[in-house]
Structure 1
Amino acid sequence: MALTLANTKIRSSGYDGDRLSSLPEHLICHILSFLETIDVIRAGSVCRKWRYFWVEMPYLNFNVDTIWSHPELRWSMETINGKFKDFVNWVLMSQDCSVHIQRFRLKYTNYGGDYTFCRWMNVLAQRKVQRLDLKLLSETPMELPRCIVNCESLVDLKIYFDLYCVLKLPEFPGFTGLKSLYLCKVEFSDPVVLAKFVSSCPVLESLIMHSCVFSDFKILDITAPRLRNLTINVLAFHGDGLNCEVVIACPSLVSFDLLGSPSWLSFKDTNSLQNVLLYFDSDLSDIATFEESRNLLNSILKGIRNIEVLKLSPAFLEFLLLAVPKPECFSASFCNLKSLMLYVTMDEYDQSIIHLLNRAPNLEALSVFFEWWEGWSDNWKMPNKDIPCLRDHLREVELIDIVGNNNELELIKFILKNGHVLQNMNIYWGKELENPSKIISEVMKFPRSSSDVVLTFFEPQSDIFFRQCRGKIV
């Protein structure tokens, strides 16, 4: 997209110039950093002052799909790729080599046997690149160039594959300055190499593995002394997913998101953990015995007992029901838990909701997402007993996708009746509900323990659960 400035004139006190050029140079550089490099170069034809601005730009963005308009109508893919390589080579050779590259973005088709990519990475390492964002289509397994692995200036690395591709991880120490690593559609074949790679990144703080494949893994071991944020998401992969044991040993870990169903999950030395999302995509009782399922649940609950924020999927709640009949399997208390988010699809979940509330005496915020289905029977029976968090701490409640069935109304009535310090209850209607006025009238008649509670009703919000999970579910 070309930058157009022809009509942005300002006239004041005899000064005649375009608004963008009158800004400080560092602001102009920041604005142009959002454009692709080809558009920054084109901007030089609009303003004489910018003619060679791109020569010292520390932000480089190259995309083989958008550098020309409909190139496939004129050239073959081989010609397109050749012209794109020539353009990137020309920019890298023409720029001031003394300027350190702050961010380099590249979308490129990396054919097997093509060493152009390695040469580009070597130039970036020499120019002390800080952030590297790669979107690649590779026909063969890809190996990270040694120059990038040894690049001490690199702090942020993102690698996206258009199609699943094997990434050969280095078996030697490297990434001494890397703080953030994002990998998408990467196939891992050796659990030992992956574990060694992660543990050898001395200052790594954020690791996201999105839609990755862990083929033939028995154990996925994540051990990193300074890792604070970890996401493992295999929901988009239609295969075995995460059918292995997951071991997390990260003493500095604060946030952990697991999207997929492991055969086992255990935490070691994770006392700093505060925020956890467990989005199991299948009922583990289908792939494990009853005793194995209870033991796994006990291991998980012990590992997350000190957290402050917890988000759970329907499959995990169904899994949680296994522990309800036996109190010894549900002995963990969440004394630090402040916020609980649940996604409910089955009518038996009243038991797991109440047991979780009972085990979180200091809970302050509750969100429940309902998914209505035709087989849902209205049979929830709320207990007639005091729940500590409702009595002393629960102030904020969100109920999403309400359609007015009896189970939902029973939960609303129960919370209003027992929420002594409740301040806000927000109710989001489901898309299927056409006229909520009757339900509103019924809800407003429910008895309330808190005189300060404010009920607010909202129009349907699509995919609000996934947005609140920070967009990590696809």
Structure 2
Amino acid sequence: MDRISKLPVGVIESILCLLPIQEAARTSILSKEWRYHWIKIPKLEFIEDQFQEWTRGPKPSAIELRLNKPSKRKDMAKRCRFFYAIYQVLLMHEGPIHEFTLSMEVDTSCVEIDHIILHLSKKNTLKILKLDFEDGGDEGHRLPISLFSLHQLTSLYLHGCALYQQRSFNEFGCLTTLYLRSVWTHKKTLHRLLSSCPLLKRLTLGHGMTILYDVEGSTIVDLFECLPVIEYLYVTVFGLEDFLSKRLPKKLPTSLVHLKYLCVDTLCFTHIYGLPFLALLIRSSPNLEKLKLLMWEETFVNGDDVGSFTLDDYSDIMLEHLKEFEIQDFTDSENELEFVRLILAKSPVLKKMTISPHYFFDKDEESVSRVSEILFCSSCASPVVEIIVGRYKSDRSCPW
């Protein structure tokens, strides 16, 4: 116990930051030196599922369990205990809060969340904010205007939220990482948000993005003009449809010269925007080193959205710095196979190519072997490329 009591303050703080907040609070009984350290830790994480002891109410009755319908009163009591715990920690906390995480289910507008964000904005010390809201209703939880007062943020992660900010807001001058998934917003708001982040290096526009229509909305060119120093980009094609038009330019006016990692999700080569959008990004990213494509089944594309083009239209594509290429949920369609061969022919320093088949195609060993043979016999610009035709992968995330 003496050794624990005499640990340097920095070491104690690091230990406490690794613990769930309820466990960190319990360390106050270890010794006098540890009693108040937990109220000074700069990293606070509140995950509703982990607060079982703090939010557990009376056990449901046998009838409720049988019907799987716990009463709303008990759910409300559980939620109140969860927020009470958060309020207690925030009121007792001393010193700066650098990182804050809130993960919970939200089915209606929740004013308590707004109060928490307002409290954090008044401290004005927050660098990393993670809001993860499952089942956020039809349009997610609408975030308050105080969110835009967190000017010290370097990383912002939003899931299951709604961003509707019509007025201009001050710059997120320190923000380098922005992650948006299942976020409802307007085209103008997203454009304003990105244009207010001059140092943004990592951007994820993930699944479930709902971009509401604006009469005078921004275009995809306007959107990427806001990313002069972007290094990592993850985009879903279907999430950006409202920014795309049938006449996409071949190249952006300003190249994304710093972009090294590109992941394109829900991509379908028969979709009217699929290949043109991908080609636009490739042509505009002269220093791209890693490219990952997450394919979408052609059967999901409506008849009106089917495009007519050939890969010959994209023979000018060059990937002079590409080192790694991966295509996931590969279905062995003619367009997909020809595009993979195009990558091989246009990437002189390519080191690794990974093909992960769609789960239906993965079961057809004969077809998998045929694709492998075709690729191994294809023209390769790189003399050292390793071609891997793997197995089906259920994880559609990007590890970069």
Q: TM-score, normalising length from structure 1?
A: 0.59
Q: Does 1:153 align with 2:76?
A: no
User: Who is 1:428 aligned against?
Assistant: 356
Q: CA deviation at 1:171?
A: 9.0
User: Who is 2:312 aligned against?
Assistant: 383
The aligned amino acid for 2:160 is: S
Q: Is the Cα contact below 8 Å between 1:204 and 1:226 reproduced in 2?
A: yes
Q: How does 1:60-459 map to 2 (within 5 A)?
A: 65-66=52-53, 72=59, 109-110=79-80, 121-122=90-91, 124-125=92-93, 128=94, 152-163=95-106, 164=108, 165-166=110-111, 167-168=114-115, 170=118, 174-185=122-133, 187-188=141-142, 191=145, 193-195=146-148, 197-199=149-151, 203-214=152-163, 217-219=165-167, 221=169, 223-235=171-183, 241-243=184-186, 245-246=188-189, 262=190, 264-265=191-192, 267-268=194-195, 270-279=197-206, 281=208, 287=213, 292=216, 295-315=218-238, 318=241, 322=245, 324=247, 330-343=252-265, 344-347=267-270, 348=272, 349-374=274-299, 381-383=310-312, 387=316, 389-390=318-319, 392-433=320-361, 434=363, 435=365, 436-459=368-391
Aligned-partner Cα distance in 1 for 2:352–2:383: 11
Q: Which of the two has greater helix per residue? A: 2
Aligned-partner Cα distance in 2 for 1:441–1:323: 36
Aligned-partner Cα distance in 2 for 1:154–1:39: 15
Deviation string, structure 1 residues 279-327 (Cα, Å, up to 9, x no partner): 475786x9356xx46x422311211244222222122565565264556
Question: What's the Cα RMSD here?
Answer: 4.8
Q: TM-score, normalising length from structure 2?
A: 0.69
Q: CA deviation at 1:111?
A: 6.8
Aligned-partner Cα distance in 1 for 2:237–2:196: 28
Aligned-partner Cα distance in 2 for 1:244–1:233: 15
Structure number with greater Rg is 1
Q: Is the Cα contact below 8 Å between 1:378 and 1:407 reproduced in 2?
A: no
The aligned amino acid for 2:156 is: L
Aligned-partner Cα distance in 2 for 1:341–1:304: 16
User: Who is 1:86 aligned against?
Assistant: none
Q: Which of the two has greater strand per residue? A: 1
Aligned length: 354
Change in 2 beyond 3 A, CA 1:387/1:396:
farther
Q: CA deviation at 1:379?
A: 6.8
Deviation string, structure 1 residues 328-373 (Cα, Å, up to 9, x no partner): x843322222222112035142222223222222222211111223
Change in 2 beyond 3 A, CA 1:356/1:373:
same
Q: CA deviation at 1:423?
A: 1.8
Name structure 1 gaps, 5 residues minimum: 1-20, 42-49, 82-106, 129-151, 236-240, 247-261, 470-474
Change in 2 beyond 3 A, CA 1:357/1:320:
farther
Q: Secondary structure at the match of 1:218?
A: coil
Aligned-partner Cα distance in 1 for 2:202–2:229: 10
Change in 2 beyond 3 A, CA 1:335/1:379:
same
Deviation string, structure 1 residues 362-400 (Cα, Å, up to 9, x no partner): 22221111122326689762137764642x322211111
Change in 2 beyond 3 A, CA 1:302/1:73:
closer
Aligned-partner Cα distance in 2 for 1:424–1:120: 49
Q: Secondary structure at the match of 2:169?
A: strand
Aligned-partner Cα distance in 2 for 1:172–1:454: 49
Q: CA deviation at 1:39?
A: 11
User: Who is 2:67 aligned against?
Assistant: none
Aligned-partner Cα distance in 2 for 1:172–1:156: 10
User: Who is 1:104 aligned against?
Assistant: none
Q: Is the Cα contact below 8 Å between 1:64 and 1:108 reproduced in 2?
A: no
Q: Secondary structure at the match of 1:421?
A: coil
Change in 2 beyond 3 A, CA 1:72/1:275:
same
Aligned-partner Cα distance in 1 for 2:30–2:238: 54
